[in-house]
Amino acid sequence: MADNDVIAKLWALANNLWWSWHRDVRFIFRDLDAKLYRACHRNPVALLRRIDPEVLTERVHDLEMLARIDRAVRELNHYLESNGAWGALHGGPLNAAPVAYFCFEFGIHESLPIYSGGLGVLAGDHLKAASDLGVPIVGLGLIYHQGYVHQRLDASGWQQDPVERVPLDELPLHELTSPDGTPLRVRVELPESTVVLRARQAMVGRSRLLLLTAQDPDNPEPARELTARLYWGDMRVRIQQELLLGVGGMRMLQAAGIEPSVIHLNEGHTAFALLEAARQLREREGLDGREALAEVGRRAVFTTHTPVPAGHDHFPAELAAAHLAPLAAGLGMPLEELLGLGRVRPEEHGAAFLPTVLALRLARHRNAVSALHAEVTRRMWRVLWPERPEEEVPIGHITNGVHVESWMAPEMHELLELRLGPEWRRGRAEPQAWQGIAAIEDGELWELHLVLKARLLAWVRRHVQAFRARLGRPLEPVPLDEGVLTIGFARRFATYKRATLLLDDLERLDRLVNHPERPVQFIFAGRAHPHDEGGKAFVQRIDAVSRDPRFSRRIVFIENHNMHVGRQLVQGVDAWLNNPRRPLEACGTSGQKVVLNGGLNISIPDGWWAEAYDGRAGFAIGRGHTHRDPALQDARDREDAFRVLEEEVAPLFYERDAQGLPRRWIARVKHAMQALGWRFNAERMVRDYTLGAYLPAAGGLSAALPPRRGG
Ligand SMILES: *Cc1c(COP(=O)(O)O)cnc(C)c1O
């Protein structure tokens, strides 16, 4: 009967995370039962599991609903069947054997909370853009059944980290099985026990994502908890998680019959994959361990994201020795020699083992994630190539970009489709596709911005009032005004990002936000790592300032920053503040999302902004200097941030013509969209990886990694 057919279609839609970048599809689920949809945190699988069958039957009898479902299924099928023109044309050997993309975190949608911040969101955007382009890729990660951090503030504003249970059975995940239906299982040897791993597969459009878990009844209890949480536990847990992902991931690929042409390591945590790939190669082809490592290295791409040495895992020698012995045996190599590959100075016995160093030594294609970050990275790791001058250290860069459909407000997307036409619809990685922005009428763009801004402010007020109510705080005054310049700041509260930079001068902040003609308001959000007391102190400080009567209308903090919160903010703010301690922001991507939605960046010229800012595309804080004394650097950057806000940003925003339009502000918005939109998106990024790294690694082309235009 028809009902089963419709329900099957709904499941087909729910089971591909394609919906995470298609609002029309998400709205189908919302409109089945709006209240339940919200209660399920916008998760279609949970909704279908929990919806009252009678309600569902009634809803799918609605002709319009049926038509929407049919259209969505047709579009999904069309998307999956079309082979992705760009990848078919340029993918070469990747079309026969995919890229294996390893990362510790993936941010695809907020209902799958296995990411901490930018790195995970980047990995999610990478899989989505590869899917759009038709570049075959398989993601490998861990599925953390307790997620990352579910931020809850207590009455004093201190961040609590209550344990969360991720409802694995209510997510679009399917156990990876062999053809006879039995779960695929692989084993990884750890000093305490051998751990059994299983995999759940998620479909991200055309891209597959395999997420490993140690939750198997055959594992002893402590081993089962190894995959409980992201970035959790001590060094021992960390090295074991890294082995489970790297070694287990390669074994799972083998068990599933997937032989990748390229191994892409996204950040050093994933480096052990190369050792296992070499072990497999040796086993298969009888190579010597060293030859196998060299061969695997030719097919490996390593992307580094961390510009300070302390940010890279340093495993004590004994810990590393105890954990790497089985791999050394499998490679037929002396353990000491293998350990040497991960030491800064191989001959220094007893020195720490760094997976990043292992990856830099083995992978032939190495890149940083912005031009400035590449300079810093070459300086930092020059020690590994002592015979070379710094500029010849073989680390290039491919600047990060964001997935347009995931971050651009659907209304803005519609406007650009309409005004920029087929060129933009076909692709966003070329400057020509964005040319038409200049011709969009100022009034049309501004009106849309005001609609998006009003939606954001309404959402923030609801959130803030619910938060105040929960903590028994006064609900007056209602925060935020429509007409006021609204600046967002949302990201991980790592201390180098300096969320409280402006809050260290409250007098001046008071004058800024309560200026009689040109007031400013701020929306902050961000989670601190559970062990980061400094980051938690930032949260508490912002919360305290937001309760100070001078600021309680103008400064708000949104609890539990995640992709949903981020999406709201980047789509509705007038401007975005980014004030990291240069040069510690390898790239930064949240500001790129703001560009796509017609907001302006106010940023330290660090990471992507150092190559994006051209004097007109937004605002720059400071002149890109770095001081030896961080306190001095903070003071100077604070001073300049206030100056830019008072003298440049606010005056430009409040300068209106007879029609009430901020013409010169809008001109900057348009310039930013046109000059930056094509460069800082994930389609350009994945094309650069494909042409500059994947194809050379797969042996399909002999180009060296180009530090190319995208930056
Ligand atoms: C985009 C994004 C980030 C990245 O923030 P940056 O500090 O700009 O790198 C972090 N968290 C979430 C949830 C995001 O969506």
Percent of the chain with pLDDT over 70: 98
CATH second-level architecture of 404-680?
A: 3-Layer(aba) Sandwich (3.40)
DSSP string covering 383-417, please? Answer: GGSTTS-GGGSS-EE----B-HHHHS-HHHHHHHH
Ligand 1 mean position, distance from CA 497 (Å)? 11
CA distance 452 to 568: 9
Average pLDDT over residues 34-39: 96
Which residue, by CA, sits nearest to atom 11 of ligand 1? 117
DSSP string covering 434-467, please? Answer: GGGGGGS-HHHHHHHHHHHHHHHHHHHHHHHHHH
Ligand 1 mean position, distance from CA 406 (Å)? 13
Does residue 43 register a pLDDT over 70?
A: yes
Does residue 171 register a pLDDT over 60?
A: yes
Looking at the CA of residue 588, tell me the nearest atom of ligand 1: 9
Please give the pLDDT value at position 425.
86
Ligand 1 mean position, distance from CA 567 (Å)? 10
Please give the pLDDT value at position 666.
98
Average pLDDT, the chain: 95
Looking at the CA of residue 402, tell me the nearest atom of ligand 1: 1
Sheet arrangement for strand 600-603: 555-558, 520-525, 485-490, 575-578, 600-603, 618-620
Alpha helices in 91-207 (DSSP H): 118-133
Where do you find CATH 3.40.50.2000 in the chain? 95-397, 404-680
Please give the pLDDT value at position 426.
86
Does residue 700 register a pLDDT over 70?
A: no
For 95-143, the pLDDT digits (tens) are: 999 999 999 999 999 999 999 999 999 999 999 999 999 999 999 999 9
From 406, 581, 589, 596, mutation site for ligand 1 pocket: most ligand atoms within 8 A of C-beta: 589
Which residue, by CA, sits nearest to atom 3 of ligand 1? 118
Looking at the CA of residue 563, tell me the nearest atom of ligand 1: 13
For 477-510, the pLDDT digits (tens) are: 999 999 999 999 999 999 999 999 999 999 999 9
Which residue, by CA, sits nearest to atom 6 of ligand 1? 588
Domain 95-397 class, CATH top level: alpha beta
From 407, 491, 538, 594, mutation site for ligand 1 pocket: most ligand atoms within 8 A of C-beta: 491
CA dihedral in degrees (149, 499, 668, 682; nearest 10)?
-30
Ligand 1 mean position, distance from CA 144 (Å)? 20
Residue with tokens 């309409």: 418
Mapping DSSP to helix (H, G, I), strand (E, B) and coil, where does residue 31 land? Answer: helix
Q: Ligand 1 pocket by C-beta < 6 Å: which residues?
A: 117-118, 121, 491-492, 561-563, 566, 588-591, 593
Does residue 707 register a pLDDT over 50?
A: no
Are the beta carbons of 184 and 251 closer than 8 angstroms?
A: no
Phi, psi of 84 (to 5 degrees): 80, 95
Helix (H) or strand (E) holding 236: helix 235-255
Please give the pLDDT value at position 706.
45
Please give the pLDDT value at position 1.
41
Looking at the CA of residue 115, tell me the nearest atom of ligand 1: 13
Average pLDDT over residues 234-238: 97
Ligand 1 mean position, distance from CA 526 (Å)? 9
Percent of the chain with pLDDT over 90: 94
Ligand 1 mean position, distance from CA 118 (Å)? 4
Does residue 67 register a pLDDT over 70?
A: yes
DSSP string covering 493-529, please? Answer: --GGG-TTGGGG-HHHHHHHHT-SSS-EEEEEE----
Ligand 1 mean position, distance from CA 492 (Å)? 7
Please give the pLDDT value at position 88.
93
Helix (H) or strand (E) holding 354: none
Ligand 1 mean position, distance from CA 196 (Å)? 33
For 288-346, the pLDDT digits (tens) are: 999 999 999 999 999 999 999 989 999 999 999 999 999 999 999 999 999 999 999 99
Average pLDDT over residues 530-552: 97
Does residue 708 register a pLDDT over 80?
A: no
Question: What's the one-letter identity of residue 512?
Answer: L
Looking at the CA of residue 607, tell me the nearest atom of ligand 1: 9
Ligand 1 mean position, distance from CA 536 (Å)? 18
Ligand 1 mean position, distance from CA 119 (Å)? 8
Please give the pLDDT value at position 711.
36
Average pLDDT over residues 191-198: 97
Does residue 637 register a pLDDT over 60?
A: yes
Residue with tokens 């009428």: 441
Looking at the CA of residue 587, tell me the nearest atom of ligand 1: 9
From 119, 267, 403, 492, mutation site for ligand 1 pocket: most ligand atoms within 8 A of C-beta: 492
For 353-363, the pLDDT digits (tens) are: 999 999 999 99
Q: 286 is written with which tokens?
A: 């009888």
Ligand 1 mean position, distance from CA 117 (Å)? 5
Cis peptide before 605 (omega within 30 of 0): no
Confidence of residue 85 (pLDDT cuts 50, 70, 90): confident
Ligand 1 mean position, distance from CA 589 (Å)? 6
Looking at the CA of residue 580, tell me the nearest atom of ligand 1: 7
Ligand 1 mean position, distance from CA 598 (Å)? 17
Looking at the CA of residue 497, tell me the nearest atom of ligand 1: 7
Looking at the CA of residue 592, tell me the nearest atom of ligand 1: 8
CA distance 577 to 600: 9
Looking at the CA of residue 122, tell me the nearest atom of ligand 1: 1
Ligand 1 mean position, distance from CA 696 (Å)? 30
CA distance 21 to 682: 13
Please give the pLDDT value at position 437.
97
Looking at the CA of residue 590, tell me the nearest atom of ligand 1: 8
From 112, 119, 121, 230, mutation site for ligand 1 pocket: most ligand atoms within 8 A of C-beta: 121
Ligand 1 mean position, distance from CA 573 (Å)? 15
Does residue 445 register a pLDDT over 70?
A: yes
